[in-house]
């Protein structure tokens, strides 16, 4: 199990009116990776702190989530069509609690991975907390939502699969030595790819195969059935001449290679005419 103090894609905050009243409300962990084989369960705690000067009411529930352009999207039950949603796997107690100023509240969760998964693969669920002040009769209620995200892998018979399309290489209009590789990167597998599992390299060679530049980058976490635009920039040296160059994009995914301790490797090659 891996807890994260920073979230790998933007934590969704929903505001009905405003959030100034909740500036002191915090949540930990933001995101947790859990290896949970079929037929097993995991229990843990989520902490919400109220550093404000007024009490808040917190209501807890479980929602599936996916991502769009790197932002996590919470899926309301009537809109949840994501086949890898884990909404039904998570229970949270208590479901409602008042947190006094300066206090920290503990919520307990339990996740059960079913024996039989269909479709087989990872599951993605959020513990969602609606935070509001105690309601007074006739008041307009101001509320926000915070989420603790769970990325669950059953382990067996799971693997990511990268696919790149619409790859383009362009020179910047104002600075032609600034080269941008862009493309749509998708995960066609059945489990997420953790940003800590992936590493990428963009290698530039001339027509003689001589390396003239290299850039390293770290793609962000990618859930199954998700697509994200990837942009990698390289600043060509002033001494580089105009001509034909090969840009080789290589992405390694650790933990899923066919041979132990060897990563999956994906390579995408583009030939481009650079004019300086």
| Weakly modelled stretches of the chain, pLDDT under 70 | 1-23, 135-141
Question: What's the pLDDT at 12?
Answer: 43
Q: Where are the beta strands (DSSP E) in the chain?
A: 2-4, 14-15, 25-28, 31-35, 41-50, 56-68, 71-75, 90-93, 96-99, 104-112, 123-132, 144-153, 162-171, 178-187, 198-205, 211-217, 227-235, 243-253, 264-274
pLDDT digits (tens, 9 = 90+) for 259-274: 777 899 999 999 999 9
Residue ranges and CATH numbers for the domains of the chain are 2-153 (2.60.40.10), 162-274 (2.60.40.10)
Give which of 71, 92, 75 is closest to 83, Cα–Cα. 75
The pLDDT score that the predictor gives to residue 69 is: 76
Please say whether the dihedral angle defined by the alpha carbons of residues 254, 158, 31 and 115, taken in this order, is positive or negative. Answer: negative
Spatial separation of the C-alpha atoms in residues 180 and 176, rounded to whole Å: 10
**Per-residue confidence (pLDDT) for residue 8, from 0 to 100:** 42
pLDDT of residue 5: 40
What pTM, to 2 d.p., does this model score? Answer: 0.86
């Amino acid at each position: 199990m891996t807890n994260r103090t920073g979230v790998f894609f933007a934590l969704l905050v929903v505001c009905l009116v405003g959030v100034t009243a909740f500036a002191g409300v915090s949540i930990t962990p933001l995101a947790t990776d859990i290896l949970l084989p079929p037929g097993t369960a995991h229990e843990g705690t989520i902490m919400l702190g109220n550093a404000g000067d007024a009490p808040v009411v917190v209501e807890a529930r479980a929602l599936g989530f996916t991502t769009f352009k790197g932002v996590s999207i919470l899926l309301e039950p009537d809109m949840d069509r994501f086949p890898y949603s884990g909404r039904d796997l998570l229970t949270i107690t208590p479901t409602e609690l008042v947190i006094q100023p300066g206090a920290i509240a503990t919520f307990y969760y339990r996740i059960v991975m079913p024996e039989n998964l269909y479709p087989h693969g990872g599951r993605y669920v959020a513990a969602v907390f609606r935070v509001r002040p105690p309601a007074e009769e006739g008041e307009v209620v101001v509320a926000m939502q915070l989420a603790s995200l769970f990325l669950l892998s059953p382990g067996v018979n799971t693997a990511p699969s990268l696919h790149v399309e619409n790859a383009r290489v362009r020179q910047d209009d104002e600075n032609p030595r600034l080269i941008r590789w862009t493309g749509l990167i998708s995960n066609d597998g059945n489990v997420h790819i953790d940003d800590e599992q992936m590493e990428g390299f963009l290698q530039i060679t001339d027509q003689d195969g001589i390396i003239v530049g290299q850039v390293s980058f770290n793609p962000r976490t990618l859930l199954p059935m998700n697509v994200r635009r990837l942009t990698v920039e390289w600043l060509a040296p002033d001494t580089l001449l105009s001509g034909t160059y090969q840009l080789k994009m290589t992405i390694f995914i650790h933990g899923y290679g066919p041979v132990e301790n060897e990563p999956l490797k994906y390579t995408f090659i583009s030939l481009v005419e650079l004019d300086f």
